[in-house]
């Protein structure tokens, strides 16, 4: 995001601009346009009847009552004959006060009030049906619709009391739109197939800083008004806002934002790495198109690890504890600037077009920046998780398809899983292998971005361009077992996985050590002397512990020896390591680790660490410990997480009331990433590594 100036008119952008910077880019039909889906079953809107040129939000934030109130102005052009209504995605939590319209350039002095109704749609939204006068709607003529509304308790808007922030001194609010939540932030065409530019005006109390996923911004101190402009077209789910006690440090042309108590830690961890990663990405995939590349670190209540909001990546502060995981998650979100943000999947049924391509791009960046061995190790960790999920769900489960056909009422967010990331990555890797040369495939991806930038695509657009770029492959793409249709529509594991032998020097010792410990008796101590875990990377230790989890429960004698050998090391590393070790202990009913379980859950209040441990506690012999810890920490848990843990601890019933324990003092820098799941349901829930 651009500089926050002390005047309401100064809008600037510090990174070099893309060729289209400074002009309004319209996403609409044209020569060589991508195919648009006939329907998006997750949207109630009639988005195909209009071109959305631009929209403006004008909001006032009220922290006392946890509401945003104001209005939305939509600039719409009808593109179909006979349109008599505008249907937008909305949500029962939105209170609509009034709707009116104007036709610019016709001499209409006053806006005309419109009638509307709100109809049920699904459990994740409703439809806002607005009647349009026949004389107002003409093919190709701009109309402006103004909707005055107030937000209440919707899924996109997360109000945090001060106790739930890192500093625990001031409240904070953020939005999370992926994938169909922003219809509870503002009425919209809530489908990734529609993109537009937007502007916003946000009014806040004194002491509150507002950030948005926008390329330009300004600030009037006297009025406490923040102005934002996103000059490049984005889908609704990438409109994001955060407001609270936030400060920044400039790191090169980028900017790091966080609460004051976290800022120095965040800057130290990132250093100048963001610019380095961007430079590598640009060398591979072409110019960075978004101007700003800022990062804001959010409290542990942030429901996922990271979100690729354009110009302003949201990332959970908990991940600061692990440098390796921080590196991967930030690079993944950077990769989304090309794959997901610049070129977007037109329907949620093909999420792999965003996540699979971004994962491939992330690994191309890490290979160039850190070497092939590092990338192979990280890939093995994730592919292990993919196969673990397949064992839980079964090879014939339809959620393992790349093209998942949604039934009406299915929330796309519920199908955000490792298949979209890792099976999608394997498919893209397969295409790279078919191309015959990774540099040739890099060039293809640059062409893909150039052809479809600021548009939304379906899989056929990608594959048509691929076969056009490599015409010699067309006959070969129909071989049984590797044809595109099997990749897209087939259940089960990827038909192809990339060669990861370049990581053998890092991966081999991990498996050798696992083999020593996954027996009924502890290994000979002399055989352990060749393994120095203090010199291993976080990903090596995580791979070791994940594979121990696969073999759990371990025998009491093995657990006692493991604890004696490694527990002290694991406890002083980071939360990614510690949570996995504690899961091994819980699944093996190793009670000596109970004090560390208590300490860990007292410290960590983020979903990706708490849920796996509570599930293992509830399933084992220490459920009483889990209930006790829950009541000691519930005041520091976000209400959504609190409900999840209550469902784990008290299935089918209500939690008995116990006295509330006084809050503990704030800690300076919290911690996160999903360890192994214990059930099919948690397997899907715990893979929200990043969006």
Peptide bond into 553 cis (omega under 30): yes
Among 333, 576, 578, 593, the one annotated catalytic: 333
**What is residue 153's three-state secondary structure?**
coil
Q: b/e string for 678-689 if b means 16 or more Cβ within 10 A?
A: beeebbbbbbbb
Query: How crowded is residue 490: how many other Cβ atoms within 10 Å of its Cβ?
Result: 19
Whether 196 and 263 have beta carbons less than 8 Å apart is answered as no
Half-sphere CA count of 444, side-chain side, radius 13 A: 25
3 state SS of 675: coil
Active site residue 593: no
Contact (CB, 8 A) for 53 and 26: yes
Please give the structure tokens belonging to residue 457: 């695509």
Q: Measuring CA to CA, which residue among 242, 204, 239, 212 is closest to residue 228?
A: 212
How far apart CA 578 and CA 125 sit, in angstroms, is 39
CA angle 367, 336, 678 (to 5 degrees): 80
Let me know how many helices (H) and strands (E) the chain has, helices first: 21, 22
Tokens for 628?
């006790």
Alpha helices in 634-676 (DSSP H): 639-649
Residue 452 phi/psi, 5° resolution?
A: -115, 10
Query: How many CA within 13 A on the CB side of residue 245?
Result: 17
The separation between the first and the last C-alpha atoms of the chain, rounded to the nearest angstrom, is 20
Q: How far apart are CA 468 and CA 165, in angstroms?
A: 51
- Beta-carbon count within 10 A of 377 CB: 24
Single out the residue of 250, 252, 257 nearest to residue 312, CA to CA: 257
Dist CA 409 CA 88 (whole Å):
16
Helices marked H in 436-555: 438-452, 459-469, 484-489, 504-517, 525-528, 538-551
> In b/e form, how buried is each residue of 238-269, taking b as 16+ CB within 10 angstroms?
bbbbbbbbbebeebebbbbbbbebbbebbeeb
Report DSSP letters for 536-573, one per residue.
S-HHHHHHHHHHHHHHPSPPHHHHHHHIIIIIHHHHTS
Q: Where are the alpha helices (DSSP H) in 552-655?
A: 556-562, 568-571, 575-587, 594-603, 607-619, 623-633, 639-649
Q: Please report where in the chains the tokens 């352990």 appear, as a residue.
A: 528
Query: Any idea of the CA torsion for 316, 319, 323, 329, to the nearest 10 degrees?
Result: -50
CA distances from 219 to 110, 200, 214 (A): 30, 12, 13
Q: Which two tokens stand for residue 360?
A: 């491939």
Distance CA 613, CA 142 (A): 55
What is the set of active-site residues?
333
């Amino acid at each position: 995001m651009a500089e926050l100036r002390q005047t309401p008119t100064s809008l600037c952008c510090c990174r070099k601009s893309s060729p289209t910077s400074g002009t309004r880019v319209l996403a609409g039909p044209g020569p060589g346009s991508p195919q648009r889906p006939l329907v998006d079953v997750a949207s109630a809107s009639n988005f195909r009847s209009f071109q959305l040129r631009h929209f403006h939000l004008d909001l006032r934030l009220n922290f006392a009552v946890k509401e945003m109130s104001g209005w939305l102005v939509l600039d719409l052009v009808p593109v179909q004959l006979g349109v008599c209504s505008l249907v937008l995605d909305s949500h029962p939590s939105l209170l609509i006060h009034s709707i009116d319209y104007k036709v610019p350039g016709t001499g209409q002095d006053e806006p005309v009030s419109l009638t509307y109704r709100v109809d049920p749609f699904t459990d994740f939204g409703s439809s806002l049906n607005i009647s349009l006068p026949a004389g107002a709607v003409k093919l190709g003529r701009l109309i402006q619709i103004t909707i005055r509304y107030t937000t209440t308790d919707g899924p996109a808007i997360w109000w945090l009391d001060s106790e739930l922030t890192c500093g625990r001194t001031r409240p904070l609010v953020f939005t999370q739109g992926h994938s169909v939540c922003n219809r509870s932030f503002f009425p919209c065409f809530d489908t990734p197939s529609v993109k537009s530019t937007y502007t916003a005006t946000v009014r806040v109390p004194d002491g509150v800083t507002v950030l948005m996923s926008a390329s330009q911004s300004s600030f009037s101190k006297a009025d406490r008004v923040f102005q934002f402009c996103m000059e490049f077209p984005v889908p609704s789910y990438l409109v994001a806002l955060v407001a609270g006690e936030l400060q920044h440090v400039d790191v090169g042309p980028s900017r790091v934002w966080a609460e004051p108590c976290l800022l120095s830690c965040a800057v130290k961890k990132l250093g100048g790495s963001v610019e380095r990663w961007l430079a590598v990405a640009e060398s591979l995939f072409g110019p960075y198109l978004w101007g700003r590349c800022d990062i804001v670190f959010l409290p542990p209540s942030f429901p996922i690890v990271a979100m690729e909001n354009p110009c302003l990546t949201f990332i959970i502060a908990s991940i600061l504890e692990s440098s390796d995981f921080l590196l991967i998650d930030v690079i993944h979100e950077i990769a989304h600037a090309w794959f997901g943000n610049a070129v977007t999947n037109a329907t949620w049924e093909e999420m792999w077009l965003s996540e699979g391509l971004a994962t491939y791009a992330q690994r191309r960046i890490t290979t160039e920046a850190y070497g092939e061995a590092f990338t192979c190790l990280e890939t093995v960790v994730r592919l292990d998780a993919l196969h673990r999920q397949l064992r839980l769900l079964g090879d014939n489960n339809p959620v393992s398809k790349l093209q998942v056909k949604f039934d009406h009422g299915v929330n796309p967010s519920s199908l955000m899983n490792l298949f979209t990331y890792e099976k999608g990555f394997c498919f893209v890797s397969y295409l790279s292998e078919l191309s015959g040369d990774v540099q040739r495939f890099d060039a293809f991806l640059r062409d893909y971005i150039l052809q479809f930038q600021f548009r939304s695509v379906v899989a056929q657009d990608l594959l048509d361009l691929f076969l056009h770029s490599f015409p010699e492959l067309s006959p070969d793409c129909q071989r049984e077992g590797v044809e595109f249709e099997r990749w897209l529509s087939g259940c089960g594991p990827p038909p192809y996985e990339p060669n990861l032998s370049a990581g053998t020097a890092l991966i081999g010792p991990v498996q050798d050590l696992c083999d020593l410990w996954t027996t009924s008796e502890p290994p000979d101590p002399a055989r352990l002397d060749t393994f120095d875990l203090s010199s291993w990377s976080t990903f090596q230790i995580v791979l070791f512990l994940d594979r121990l989890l696969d073999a759990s429960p371990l025998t009491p004698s093995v657990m006692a020896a493991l604890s004696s050998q490694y527990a002290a090391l694991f406890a002083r590393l980071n939360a990614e390591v510690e949570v996995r070790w504690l899961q091994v202990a819980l699944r093996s009913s190793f009670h000596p680790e109970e004090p560390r379980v208590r300490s860990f859950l007292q410290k960590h209040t983020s979903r990706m660490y708490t849920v796996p441990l509570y599930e293992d506690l509830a399933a084992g012999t220490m459920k009483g410990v889990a209930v006790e810890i829950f009541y000691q920490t519930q005041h520091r848990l976000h209400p959504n997480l609190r409900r999840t843990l209550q469902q784990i601890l008290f299935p089918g019933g209500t939690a008995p009331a116990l006295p509330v324990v006084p809050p503990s003092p704030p800690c300076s820098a919290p911690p996160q990433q999903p360890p192994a799941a214990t059930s099919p349901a948690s397997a899907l829930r715990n893979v929200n590594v990043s969006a």
